[in-house]
Amino acid sequence: MAAYNKINQFVQDVCSKVHNLGADALFLFLLNAAPSASDTTVDTTTGTLTIKSVSNSVEIAAGNGYSKGGSAITITTASQSGGTYTLAGNQILWTAAGGTIGPFRYICLYNNTAGSTSTRAPVAWWDYGTSLTLNNGDSFTVLFNGVNPGTIFTLA
């Protein structure tokens, strides 16, 4: 099971109306160097995405079934009940075709709508504990909370 890690800036961004989590375009991208809880932006203007401020971790190279910027999440729930907000989404699947994808160890969630192209808003990342490489034909599925659709996170 991957370990969830919140980006500290996300708390301020929620309170500053940076996110509309039910309507904005949320994406996952792959890295092989750890992001930091103190990172503040994702730069989407270069050849590979970079999560910036502290870690400056760079997205893995695109190709063989992985696209620059990662993959969009289809949000299935963005609502509150009893004072707890739940954001849930469908699984993301990457399949290596024509070569390898990776290595990668971290998956970063960012808002591709909020901010400018050089200052997109990061939300969180997951640490898989070891680097993974998908060989030709291998697949990797991100299941939020282990189910599809699954809870990405809750706010209470």
Please determine, for residue 1, whether its predicted confidence score (pLDDT) is greater than 70: no
- Looking at residue 147, its pLDDT comes to 95
**Residue-level pLDDT at 3:** 87
User: Could you read off the pLDDT of 67-110 as tens digits, one per residue?
Assistant: 999 999 999 999 999 999 999 999 999 999 999 999 999 999 99
Q: What is the mean pLDDT of the chain?
A: 96
Q: Which residues of the chain form beta strands (DSSP E)?
A: 3-6, 26-31, 41-43, 50-52, 57-58, 71-72, 75-81, 84-89, 92-95, 101-111, 121-134, 139-142, 150-155
Q: Is residue 42 classed as helix, strand or coil in its secondary structure?
A: strand
pLDDT for 16-62, tens place per residue? 999 999 999 999 999 999 999 999 999 999 889 999 999 999 999 99
- Which residues lie across from 155 on neighbouring strands? 85
Q: Which alpha helices (H) appear in the chain, and where do they start and end?
A: 8-15
Tens of pLDDT, residue by residue over 116-140, are: 999 999 999 999 999 999 999 999 9
